[in-house]
Amino acid sequence: MISFIVPIYKPNLEVLEKSIKSLAVQALKDWEAIFVLDGPCPEAEIVIRRAIKKCPNNYKIMVIEHGGAPRARNKGAEMAQGDVYCFWDSDCVIEPGTSKLWYDTFAKSPEVGFVYSGYKFFGDSMAIDSEPWDAWQLRVRNFISTCFPVRREIYPGWCEDLESLQDWDFWLSVVEKAEKAGWDIKRIGKYYRGYAFSTPFPTPDSISGKGCTPEKWLERMDAVKKRHGIEQNAICVSSLQYKADGVLLAKNIGADFQIDPSDKPNHYKTIIQVGFSLSPNHVERHAAIFQRKDIKKVLFWTGDNINEIYNSVCFKAVDAYSNLLNDSVTQYVEDLEAKRLMERAGFKVQVRPIPLVNTDNIVPMPEKVKFAIDVAADYGQVFGIIERSLPDVELEVVDGVHSINDYTGLIHFYPDKTLSHMIKRAILSGRHVISNVKQPYCGYISDKESQWDFILGVVEKVRDIIDKKDTDPKALEHYKETLNPEKLKEAIA
């Protein structure tokens, strides 16, 4: 059974009635609602009884002395009978079928301790998305609303001393309690895409509104971090385009990750941004991340950014933003070809690959020779010919999510000719690489020759790899050293 525990204080009675009715018409039948009046409110009691009259056995009302939402939630939990608790806000309207989806998830997946998704604001004018579960990211910032269900056995109680950010404190406490009880923290959170409920936009008088004011934000963030032993981090990685790459970099160098750290006040001394688009649709927001004058700013240009500058950005944008960034930002590219292109465009850049660490053991090559194909569409027709020229070799186009350990090597050709995450990942996994990137151990083949010479070059390189089988151990050592996160930390210190 799911117990909806609903604290109520000075409610909007019309919205309260909508909220209760949305619970009453859910497909799930095994539920209860405990309405905790945080101070007497006869009008709210009338609304509750009227709105839920079709479910007379599913609800209880308790009245307590006013003490705030966390205290009301704790009191309601003392009365709850369910094996799952959902601390529902009295102004939230649940989407049809949501509570049944939650209940079925708990029934089918014993490893799941809580379920969550995003939510909308009334009028569909705006929504708050969430993201797949990652305990590491929860210690940086919250991405789970109060109003999502948690198993009773890992319910930690609500801290009654916090003025705001109570939801972040609560979910951190849930995870800590579960970890002590032996739960697999990597699997404990179940994320569903979409939106579970609608709610009014926060006002200055709401808990969320009060907690989000700039003058209070740092103080309240610090209070939650102190409760959970989370150290203040001086370095933050950001990325509006390449979140997965940014998170991986942050984990590798022991930094925080925020998509946009300029969104809220913070204690950061260094911002490392992965990616900077000069497209008119993106450039102002990308530049805004560097608006603070009192911090060190580092930028990694990506292959996509460089290709964009080379092919489609106007000189006016290049001139404006090269002046801006050259004056205040340390700019990195990953290889010499990228450096040549960016300097030609007027940007002062240094060569420093984005760090990468292979946390897996290197495994033997697969018995059957098999290459992962990661190439731009420009090369598609040519690789059709190459595939027919290698009938005994399996060539498989990958989408970036396959394990490189399943392959003998990687064939990687893109017009920007710059070092990529896929190439680094392949070499750190002890795999061969064939590419148009002029970097050590990247199996360089020029794509500027005739089409026939290019085809012959790729085919001959594959045949050489089949004869050699294992990669040069010097390749692995070279990239372990080059991609060591400590090198970046030393450079930005």
Ranges of each domain in the chain: 2-224, 232-351, 370-480
pLDDT in tens, 245-258: 999 999 999 999 99
Check whether 212 has a pLDDT greater than 70.
no
Name the residue with higher pLDDT: 214 or 172.
172
Residues of the chain with pLDDT > 90, as a percent, come to 69
129-138, 192-201, 306-315: least confident range: 306-315
What's residue 400's pLDDT? 56
What's residue 445's pLDDT? 93
pTM over 0.75: yes
**Span 80-90, average pLDDT:** 97
Tokens in use for 307?
Answer: 């290709």
What's residue 456's pLDDT? 93
pLDDT category at 474 given cuts 50, 70, 90 is very high
Q: What mean pLDDT is reported for the chain?
A: 91
pLDDT in tens, 11-28: 999 999 999 999 999 999
Check whether 337 has a pLDDT greater than 70.
yes
**Span 95-108, average pLDDT:** 96
Tokens in use for 464?
Answer: 């050489």
105-119, 138-152, 189-203, 394-408: least confident range: 394-408
∠480-432-415 over CA atoms, to 5°?
A: 95
Tokens in use for 50?
Answer: 């009227």
CATH number, domain 370-480: 3.40.50
Name the residue with higher pLDDT: 110 or 56.
110
DSSP codes, 247-271: HHHHHHHT-EE-S-GGGS----SEE
Check whether 205 has a pLDDT greater than 70.
no
Tokens in use for 401?
Answer: 């999510």
3-state secondary structure of 341: helix
Calpha distance 371→369 (Å, rounded): 7
Tokens in use for 165?
Answer: 């950010």
3-state secondary structure of 274: strand
Check whether 206 has a pLDDT greater than 70.
no
Check whether 100 has a pLDDT greater than 80.
yes
pLDDT category at 344 given cuts 50, 70, 90 is very high
**Span 330-337, average pLDDT:** 92
CATH topology of 2-224 equal to that of 232-351? no
What's residue 55's pLDDT? 78
**CATH class, range 232-351:** alpha beta
Calpha distance 64→79 (Å, rounded): 13
145-154, 312-321, 472-481: least confident range: 312-321
**CATH class, range 2-224:** alpha beta
What's residue 121's pLDDT? 92
Tokens in use for 190?
Answer: 């179940």
CB contact at 8 A, 376 and 414: yes
Residue 266 is which amino acid?
N
pLDDT category at 126 given cuts 50, 70, 90 is confident
Tokens in use for 20?
Answer: 């209760």
